[in-house]
């Protein structure tokens, strides 16, 4: 994996809440992951962690890829460096890949998708050329990131979001911000039935119609993880 390809991950702060909930958003380079995560951090007050910068600071590289002109990520070392940060919550982790991150880090996975023509123009504007440009567009055509997410996480937490226009971006921001705020409230008073998740009810639009079940002696601030990759 090349560190240059950036996406994102999010996780709100607080003590442990059974079960801890997290989110991930994935997508091919150029679909708008970093822009989305930066604005989510501004709206929600969560801390945005740029995985590419963490990898550089901690030297989480194996070698340099001459074809793609970028370092090759040492995934195991990176996960070790991030483990403590992710355990505390309140973070937005920004990276393009998702399948190597531990499933326990996330509660919901958003895969950002872009039209091939839109993506091509965005990547060309970034200076992508030749094989690097072609491979990334093909990655989107063949839904590589989506299939990786579906293979790495439970099917019920993986969701696609269109990311072609400013209106798409704004709608995605509104949806995820609303989810974060509802999670903060519901995590204090609501425990889904066994085998179900808070995420599932939110996506189905039924979260507000279920009876809250809470032990009044236990106050669980939200612990949430969102990955945009």
Q: Which residues are annotated as a binding site?
A: 30, 32-35, 126
| Contact criterion met (CB below 8 Å) for 99 and 148 | yes
Strand 91-94 versus strand 226-228 pairing type: parallel
Tokens of 45: 């007050």
- The SS3 call for residue 54 is helix
Tokens of 143: 């839904």
* 113 DSSP β-pair partners: 162
Q: How many CB atoms lie within 10 A of CB 131?
A: 10
Q: Which residues are annotated as a binding site for ATP?
A: 30, 32-35, 126
């Amino acid at each position: 994996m090349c560190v240059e390809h950036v996406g994102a991950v999010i996780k709100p702060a607080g003590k442990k809440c059974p079960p801890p909930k997290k989110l991930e958003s994935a997508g091919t380079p150029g679909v708008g992951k970093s822009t989305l995560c930066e604005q989510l951090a501004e709206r929600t007050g969560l801390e945005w962690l740029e995985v590419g910068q963490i990898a550089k600071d901690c030297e989480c590289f194996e070698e340099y890829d001459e074809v793609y002109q970028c370092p090759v990520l040492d995934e195991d070392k990176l996960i070790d460096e991030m483990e403590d940060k992710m355990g505390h919550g309140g973070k937005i982790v920004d990276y393009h890949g998702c399948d190597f991150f531990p499933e326990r880090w996330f509660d919901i996975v958003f895969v950002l998708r872009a039209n091939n023509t839109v993506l091509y123009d965005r990547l060309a504007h970034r200076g992508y050329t030749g094989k690097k440009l072609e491979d990334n567009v093909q990655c989107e055509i063949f839904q590589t990131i989506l299939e990786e997410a579906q293979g790495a996480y439970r099917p019920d937490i993986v969701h696609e979001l269109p990311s072609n226009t400013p209106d798409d971006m704004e709608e995605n921001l509104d949806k995820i911000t609303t989810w974060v705020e509802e999670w903060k409230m519901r995590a204090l008073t609501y425990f889904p039935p066994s085998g179900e998740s808070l995420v599932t009810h939110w996506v189905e639009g039924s979260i507000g119609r279920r009876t809250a079940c809470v032990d009044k002696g236990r106050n669980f601030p939200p612990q949430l993880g969102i990955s945009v990759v």
